Structure 1
Amino acid sequence: MNGESGFNFGRVALEFGYITPEQLEHALEVQRERAAESGAAPKLGEVLVELGYMTRSQVIEVVRHQAGHGGRPVIENYEILGKVGVGAMGAVYKARQISLNRIVALKILPPSLAEDENYIARFLREAKLAAKLSHENIIYVIDVGESHGVYYYAMEFVEGRTLKEIVDENGPLPEKEIVRVALQVAKALDHAYSYGIVHRDVKPANVMITKEGTVKLCDFGLACHLGITTGTTKTVIAGTPNYIAPEQIRDDEVDIRADIYALGGTMFYMATAQPPFTGGTNALVMTKHLFERPRSPRSLAPSISRYLDAIILKCLRKDPNERFQTPGELIRALERVATRRYSSRAVRPVLRRYRRRR
């Protein structure tokens, strides 16, 4: 932020009533001292936040006002073309990456998360790790960082619809399509598993179906957390916890089996057009994830096979040790459904184990 833009920033912050003239003068003095020491002046907004005079969300509001973009964020090296969606984890924009002249999807974290230093540290760490993933069933990460106090996450731009949108509009999917979609999501998880990465937020809204029919899992590195206190630990989960594994609710150590649980819930949703558990509050839904046995999908969707029903229920077991242990195990089971390479003898042991351990 150069001297002129810094002056304008301070003027707008004063107009908004965020700071006093004395606070602005102090921040400008600190900014000048830092510039003399290092040869580069820090952004005035960053100095004001560091001094405790402004919050990050206030800085964002000032920057947006300066830009005159009607509330659109200002991200260096990106031209915002329009908003394509909004969710608990922030707004998603169609944007052009100026340096490479390519279209991307740009997710902007909301100010409420941007002010959480612990979340931001994990977000940056995990998003950079997720950028290593390269698989046809994963929406790949292009860039992650911060610009003018705004944290962003640039991804491959995909023309298509989410699985949630498709099911909400058309109702339950036929078994063949359930298996096709689940197989591709499982393959995405298997690739992530090979890198030791856990998604933590597999759900229909994070599964994209492209115009060509390819399934893509998105939001790796954006795993989110719902306000629940367990002992001395507070976990924050954005959105409705319809697909969250019991161990995530307990704030236990989470591994790939939590994603397998969530994929089981997503398959349940594809088969029935509803999540495994519903309730009037997030707390009630989480309680059911912890203690209540899920219904058989076949009780709501009699057209699905007993074998697919058993696969879904195995994914949804409370104890991670009783689920499929890796995405590869789940892939092999789903492939048997896809090719009808199973018999009633293969179904019965799975059902017996589920009934015995419920």
Structure 2
Amino acid sequence: MARHQPIQLGTQIAGYQVEHEIGRGGMSVVYLATDLRLGRAAALKVLAPELTLIDDLRRRFINESRVAAAIDHPHIVPIYASGESDGVLYIAMRYVAGPDLGALLDRDGPLPVTDALGIAAQVASALDAAHENGLVHGDVKPGNILVAASGVGDDPYAYLMDFGLAKPSLDASSTSVGEFVGTLDYVAPEQISGRPVDGRGDLYSLACVVYEVLAGGPVFQRDDDMALLWAHQYDQPPELSGARPGLAPAVDSVMAKALAKASDDRFGSCREFVEELFSAAGGLAS
């Protein structure tokens, strides 16, 4: 895939002035920008110009803004505006001054139990809100969770972002066997095999994230992608209490249920999973 062509600093896009780059992914670049009408900072996400002619990527990018804007939730990044300006597809959203969860893990290592479960609870509430609106996020991972200080005792405040892959629950029409959209370390078995997906697929991905933020590494670690896909579909996950000394063994049965291969064997909601995990952890804050 061609490299992203940078937008010149100072460029104005639909009333937003580009200040500097703050992040990039496989299909987009995010800039800190100034809203020239309201004088506030914003995060301006721009589809890489060389990708704007690819219909599937255009639809995915446009879908992100529509889905996120339709769900009013305190832990989903608010959308200010979106559209196309002089051939540039953009989404303007609230600027969150904090790292994503993946960067936080790279910097600090595994999180304290209370912080990890607090973030999980916030993301769970955002996911359940999406599911109540008939939508599946489809790509829950540390890189799609922004973490900012709440200002209240410096407790972390999480925002779920990047709804570009979101689609209606139980919709497998765009996925055939052996194909999926998502990220390998967090992808649910039904996404891999092309079976219908609902909110329990996001729950599986959230459980993978929780394991990583507490253990310091992905739930399944394999030498190649095919082995990793196999593990998600057929291998039993390792016990979290063995990877995080001092964590109550009761968490293992909770994680096993959240990471069940069959979606019917998982919890009914993300909130239920996190509540059970809180209870099993026994209030430990190590």
TM-score surpassing 0.5?
yes
Q: Decide whether the 8 Å contact of 2:44 with 2:91 is kept in 1.
A: yes
In structure 1, what is the Cα distance between the partners aligned to 2:50 and 2:257? 37
Structure with more contact order per residue of length (Cα contacts < 8 Å, sep ≥ 6): 2
Give the 3-state SS of the residue equivalent to 2:13 in structure 1.
Answer: coil
Equivalent of residue 260 in structure 1, options 198, 203, 211: 203
Equivalent of residue 217 in structure 1, options 145, 151, 159: 159
Q: Decide whether the 8 Å contact of 1:139 with 1:216 is kept in 2.
A: no
In structure 2, what is the Cα distance between the partners aligned to 1:75 and 1:282? 39
Question: TM-score by structure 2 length?
Answer: 0.83
The structure with the larger Rg is 1
Number of paired residues?
271
Q: Decide whether the 8 Å contact of 1:183 with 1:335 is kept in 2.
A: no
Superposed, which structure 2 residues align to 1:1-358 within 5 Å? 69=8, 75-111=13-49, 113-212=51-150, 213-223=155-165, 230=176, 235=180, 237=182, 240-337=183-280, 340=283
Which sections of structure 1, spanning at least 5 residues, go unmatched?
Answer: 1-56, 341-358
Q: Please list the CA deviations of residues 78-118 of structure 1 after superposition, one character each: whole Å capped at 9, or x if unmatched.
A: 10011011222421110112233321111122346433213
In structure 1, what is the Cα distance between the partners aligned to 2:273 and 2:146? 20
Q: Report deviation, 1:200.
A: 1.1
In structure 1, what is the Cα distance between the partners aligned to 2:244 and 2:29? 34
In structure 2, what is the Cα distance between the partners aligned to 1:294 and 1:269? 12
In structure 1, what is the Cα distance between the partners aligned to 2:32 and 2:274? 33
Structure 1 residues 199 and 334 mapped into 2: Cα distance closer, same or farther (>3 Å)?
A: same
Q: Report deviation, 1:190.
A: 1.9
Question: TM-score by structure 1 length?
Answer: 0.67
Q: CA RMSD in A?
A: 2.9
Which sections of structure 2, spanning at least 5 residues, go unmatched?
Answer: 168-174
Q: Equivalent pairs: percent with the same residue?
A: 31
In structure 1, what is the Cα distance between the partners aligned to 2:229 and 2:13? 37
